[in-house]
Amino acid sequence: MKNLTYLFYLLPILFYAQDDLLDGLEPDQSTTVTSTWKSLKVVNFETTKLVAKNEFQLIISHRFGSVENGFDDLFGLDQAVTRFQFVYGITDWMHMEASRSSFNKTYQLASKFKLKEQETTGFPFSISAFTAVDINTGLDKEVLPKIEFENRLGYTAQVIIARKISKNYLLKLAQHFFMKTL
């Protein structure tokens, strides 16, 4: 009778062990890697980061001229190029941009798409695509009398591949395609 009592107490432990074996058959849950990039651009290059859905950002950027002329150009400040950029997140995987640059009075319409995100135990990279159309309105019709609208256009396509290696290290590869029709 004493042996039956021990068996009665040990029997639930065996059932619990079977549940552990079944848990091993379930696939590992993979989560996406976050905060690969903190901004939309690094210097003048796009990153894999997108603006969140229904979020709007206004970005004002400056590119300064050469400091060689010293105080004559206020160390490049007089030659600065300013760009106003409006970015809106259509979805969590796509945003649209409209911008205007003082360089050649250029307007740009662009979009960025998130194609694949890096996962902790799955896909090893984040992949995004960027496309843009530029309109150069600074070309003078008097200097270039035969210029047509299509000659003012420029196109950009970019594939961005990034990997967050650790908290402090990132790797980015970007393939750029540019076409100017002038």
**1-30 pLDDT, tens per residue?**
666 676 566 656 655 555 555 555 555 566
Mean pLDDT lowest among 16-30, 43-57, 68-82, 155-169: 16-30
pLDDT for 79 beyond 90 = no
Helices (H) and strands (E) in the chain, counts: 1, 9
* Predicted model pTM: 0.75
Please give the pLDDT value at position 177.
Answer: 92
Q: What is the mean pLDDT of residues 65-74?
A: 80
Identify whether the C-beta of residue 40 lies closer than 8 Å to the C-beta of residue 51: yes
The helix/strand/coil state of 39 is coil
**42-55 pLDDT, tens per residue?**
887 888 889 999 99
User: Could you give phi then psi for residue 106, rounded to 5 degrees?
Assistant: -90, 130
Compute the distance between CA of residue 133 and CA of residue 149 in angstroms, rounded to an integer. Answer: 13
Q: What is the mean pLDDT of the chain?
A: 83
Q: Which residues pair with 70 in a beta bridge?
A: none
pLDDT for 155 beyond 60 = yes
DSSP state of 32: B
Please give the pLDDT value at position 145.
Answer: 81
Please give the pLDDT value at position 21.
Answer: 55
Q: What percent of the chain has pLDDT over 70?
A: 83
Compute the distance between CA of residue 130 and CA of residue 115 in angstroms, rounded to an integer. Answer: 10
Q: Which residues pair with 161 in a beta bridge?
A: 127, 173
Please give the pLDDT value at position 98.
Answer: 97
**88-139 pLDDT, tens per residue?**
999 999 999 999 998 888 999 999 999 988 888 888 889 999 999 999 988 8
